[in-house]
Structures are given as C-alpha cells and as structure tokens.
C-alpha cells in the first residue's frame, strides 16, 4: 500500500507538501500545531523509513529538548523550584510550543525535499523549463568526487614543495590552483556535452514530472489546510 502511494506521487507533490507545511506552520495557532505534526508524521510514514530519520538522531532531540529547557530557564518569572533550579512555568509552556513548531518544520523538510533523489530534482527543474539548472545540478553532483581529488592532489603537491613555511601564500596558491583545475575540468565537460549535441536551451519532449495523482494530492492538501485553519480545536 505504502509503495503504491509513494510510486504515484511525484516530486511536485513533495514540493507542494513542503510549501503547505511551511505556510501552515506560520499561520496556525499553537494548539493546531499538534494536528499539523500528526499529518507531517503520517506523510513521512508513507514516504518510508528514511524520511523520518531525524527522529532517530540524538542531535535532533538535543535541539528540541534544549528549546524547552532554555525557555523554562530564560523566559518568564521563575515560579517553579526544581532542586537547585528555579524554572518558569510560562517559559516551559512557551518552549513546548516553540519546540513543536521546530519539529514540524524540520520534519516537513525531511519528509518532502529531503527525501527527493538527485534525479527527482533534475527532473523537476527540467519540467519547470529550467533545463540548464537541472543540467548544472547534475554536473555539480558528479563534480564533487573530482573536486575532492583536485583538492587532495593540490594540497599534497604544495606540502611536498614546502609550501607551509609561507601559510598565506600557500592558501592563495591552493585556492587558485583548485579553482583553475576545476574550470579546466569544466571545459572538458563542455567539450564532451557539445560532442553529444547537448544544448541546454533546447527543451526535449517527454519530460514531465506532473502526474494526475499530484493534482489530487494538492487538492487534498488545500482541503486539509482549510480544515486545520478554520476548524475550532
């Protein structure tokens, strides 16, 4: 069931969901945020285990808990003694809502754009008429490993030539060499793409990431958004 739903919704749905969640996080009163978080979690559950991976990270929970703890220490009157600490009830309550808002936003990003593959992103750009940007993203992704090699080679070359005796000159030489070599590699990419007749200005047919299910999903989001906004909880 999960696989079927996931397979029908394209990258457009993921972006729509992110925009929807961001808008509602900004507009909804505090109490309705619980319902929004439930929707985000449900969407993330449908998106697979990876989509909700922030929930398994210690760093995520440290961030959320630190909001609650710091708020109870910093905001409002310290009217709640707890051992040697004096906490604030109003600060604790406010911190709880702030933490909930932070959870909604972080998870909304993770379950939407965070779960998109590079090919999804490239396809999305191309369907929006930004074929050049999609192409550039693809080139950049493939460049990362090459850049690593360029930086490593340049670093070791400078080190073996005793470059670290003059640190500022070395940093300048490192940057100039890395950028120059990256641009030379870029020129090779241009030659290779030209040889294959690739033109970023020409739009090729058949590239469409907008599916019927995406439209239905967007309508559903609109309805649910209206319900959350205007339904008195």
Partner 1 sequence: MTKDDGVDVRAGYALRDWVYVAVFGALWGAAEMTAGAYLHVLFPPMADTFLVGLTMAGLGAIIVMVGRQFVSRGGAVLSMGIIAALLKALSLGGMKLGPMVAIFAEALLVEIVFLPTEPALHHHYILAGSLAVSWNFFHKFVMMRILFGKGIEEVYEKMIVDGGSVLGLDVNQAVMIIVALFLVRVAVGAVAGQLAWVLGGAVKRRLAGDA
CB-hemisphere CA count at 13 Å for 70? 8
Quick one: 132 or 223, whose CB is closer to partner 1?
Answer: 132
Quick one: 110 or 225, whose CB is closer to partner 1?
Answer: 110
Tell me phi and psi for residue 129, to 5 degrees.
Answer: 85, 10
Residues 189-218 that bind partner 1 (CB under 8 A): 189-190, 193-194, 198-201
102 binds partner 1 (CB under 8 A): yes
CB 76 within 8 A of CB 98: no
Give the three-class secondary structure for 11. helix
Residues 116-135 that bind partner 1 (CB under 8 A): 118, 121, 132-133, 135
Measure the CA–CA gap between 187 and 125, rounded to whole angstroms. 23
Residues 68-87 that bind partner 1 (CB under 8 A): 70-71, 74-76
Give the three-class secondary structure for 199. coil
Contacts 24+ apart (CB under 8 A), 136-144: 139/186, 139/189, 143/182, 143/185, 143/186
Contacting residue, 67, 87, 209, 221, with partner 1 by CB under 8 A: 67
Measure the CA–CA gap between 199 and 93, rounded to whole angstroms. 57
Quick one: 4 or 187, whose CB is closer to partner 1?
Answer: 187
Q: In whole angstroms, how close is the CB of 86 to partner 1 at the nearest point?
A: 14
94 binds partner 1 (CB under 8 A): yes
DSSP state letter for 76: S
Quick one: 93 or 213, whose CB is closer to partner 1?
Answer: 93
Residue 90 in tokens: 């109003």
Binding site for partner 1 (CB under 8 A): 25, 30, 53-54, 57, 63, 66-67, 70-71, 74-76, 94, 97-98, 101-102, 105-106, 109-110, 113-114, 118, 121, 132-133, 135-141, 143-144, 147-148, 151, 172, 175-180, 182-187, 189-190, 193-194, 198-201
């Amino acid at each position: 069931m999960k696989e079927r739903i996931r397979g029908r919704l394209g990258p457009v749905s993921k972006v729509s969901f992110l925009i929807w969640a961001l808008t509602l996080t900004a507009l909804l009163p505090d109490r309705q945020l619980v319902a929004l978080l439930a929707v985000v979690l449900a969407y993330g559950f449908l998106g697979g285990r990876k989509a909700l991976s922030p929930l398994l990270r210690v760093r995520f929970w440290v961030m959320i808990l630190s909001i609650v703890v710091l708020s109870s220490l910093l905001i409002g009157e310290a009217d709640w003694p707890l051992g040697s600490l004096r906490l604030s009830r109003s600060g604790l309550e406010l911190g709880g809502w702030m933490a909930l808002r932070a959870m909604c936003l972080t998870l909304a990003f993770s379950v939407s754009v965070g779960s998109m593959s590079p090919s999804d992103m490239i396809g999305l750009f191309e369907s929006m008429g930004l074929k050049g940007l999609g192409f550039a993203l693809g080139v950049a992704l493939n460049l990362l490993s090459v850049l690593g090699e360029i930086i490593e080679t340049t670093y070791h070359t400078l080190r073996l030539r005793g470059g670290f005796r003059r640190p500022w000159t070395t940093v300048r030489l490192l940057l100039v060499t890395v950028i120059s070599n990256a641009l030379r590699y870029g020129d090779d990419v241009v030659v290779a793409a030209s040889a294959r007749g690739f033109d970023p200005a020409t739009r090729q047919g058949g590239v469409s990431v907008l599916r019927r299910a995406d439209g239905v999903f967007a309508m559903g989001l609109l309805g649910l958004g209206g319900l959350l906004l205007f339904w008195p909880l």
